[in-house]
């Protein structure tokens, strides 16, 4: 069964446009996943296709009404679950979340606009809420695309080389090591000798040391959760501070 992602939004074209290019398009062409978008305005019952209204209790902004959201959900046959609302107050989305979703058969995303959702829509039809970070966007479409791409690229066959996801940032709770390609020297900066040594075991130890050091420096919160193994300690001793070298 093909992995399915449904997105409920006021701007289905935004989702479809991005998904028609990049890795998402290639994965869809291979039959890895399929996208279904649903315009919340199609479930309105007035000539102006109104989806929002002023909040009870007063305050600035408009709130997405519960009716079009609930009607849209109820009208979709075989809606993939969980249905996740993208909200600033949701649980932080992480690589662990992406891996969990990739193990299922699909999921759905509800994109907000304005000041958010009528709480009753969340109570009645939504299974979970996630947040992309501690900031606020004009709507949930960009976050939905980030979530979708993070999950789809983990599906078998989505990438040209499935094993490449195993060494990426956050795959083991660490940031990824630095990468280099040709030329070996660029504007006085030389690629570390170990990467040109041909010693694959030594290269792996160097990469591990760099990933550990980078995580400790940039994301001490992640590093604090990582238990150093004997192999980690060996790699750090062998490469105490290898960086790109200045020539001459």
Q: Span 129-152, mean pLDDT? A: 96
- pTM listed for this prediction: 0.86
| Residue 133: domain span | 3-162
The verdict on 194 and 211 lying in the same domain is yes
Flag whether pLDDT at 244 surpasses 70.
no
The verdict on 142 and 179 lying in the same domain is no
Q: Span 92-116, mean pLDDT? A: 95
Q: Span 184-205, mean pLDDT? A: 95
> How far is it, in rounded angstroms, from Cα 70 to Cα 31?
30
Flag whether pLDDT at 233 surpasses 80.
yes
Report yes or no: 175 and 208 within 8 Å, Cβ to Cβ. no
Report yes or no: 191 and 220 within 8 Å, Cβ to Cβ. no
Report yes or no: 83 and 71 within 8 Å, Cβ to Cβ. no
Structural domain count of the chain: 2
The verdict on 31 and 105 lying in the same domain is yes
The verdict on 130 and 174 lying in the same domain is no
Sheet with 83-92, strands from edge to edge, namely: 33-39, 3-9, 106-111, 83-92, 128-131
The verdict on 43 and 126 lying in the same domain is yes
Helix 141-152 × helix 95-102 angle, to 10°: 60
- pLDDT tens digits, residue range 202-224? 999 999 999 999 999 999 998 99
* Other beta carbons within 10 Å of 167: 14
The verdict on 128 and 75 lying in the same domain is yes
Flag whether pLDDT at 59 surpasses 90.
no
Report yes or no: 178 and 210 within 8 Å, Cβ to Cβ. yes
Flag whether pLDDT at 163 surpasses 90.
no
The verdict on 113 and 221 lying in the same domain is no
The verdict on 36 and 88 lying in the same domain is yes
* Other beta carbons within 10 Å of 10: 20
């Amino acid at each position: 069964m093909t992995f399915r992602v449904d997105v409920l939004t006021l701007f289905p074209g935004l989702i479809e446009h991005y998904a028609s290019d990049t890795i998402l398009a290639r994965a869809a062409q291979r039959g890895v996943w399929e996208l279904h978008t649903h315009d919340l305005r199609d479930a309105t019952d007035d000539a102006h296709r109104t989806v929002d209204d002023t909040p009870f209790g007063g305050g600035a902004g408009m709130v997405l009404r519960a009716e079009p959201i609930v009607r849209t959900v109820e009208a979709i046959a075989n809606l993939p679950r969980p249905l996740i609302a993208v909200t600033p107050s949701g649980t932080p989305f992480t690589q662990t979340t992406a891996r969990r979703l990739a193990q299922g058969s699909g999921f759905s995303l509800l994109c907000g606009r304005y000041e958010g959702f009528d709480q009753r829509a969340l109570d009645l039809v939504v299974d979970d809420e996630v947040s992309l970070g501690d900031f606020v966007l004009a709507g949930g479409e960009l976050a939905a695309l980030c979530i979708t791409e993070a999950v789809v690229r983990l599906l078998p066959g989505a990438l040209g080389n499935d094993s490449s996801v195993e060494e990426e940032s956050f795959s083991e709770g660490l940031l990824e090591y630095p990468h280099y390609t040709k030329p070996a020297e660029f504007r006085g900066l030389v690629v570390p000798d170990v990467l040109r040594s041909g010693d694959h075991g030594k290269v792996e130890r160097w990469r591990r040391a760099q990933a550990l050091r980078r995580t400790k420096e940039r994301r001490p919160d992640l590093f604090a959760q990582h238990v150093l193994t004997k192999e980690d300690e060996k790699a750090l001793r062998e490469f105490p501070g290898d960086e790109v070298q200045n020539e001459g």
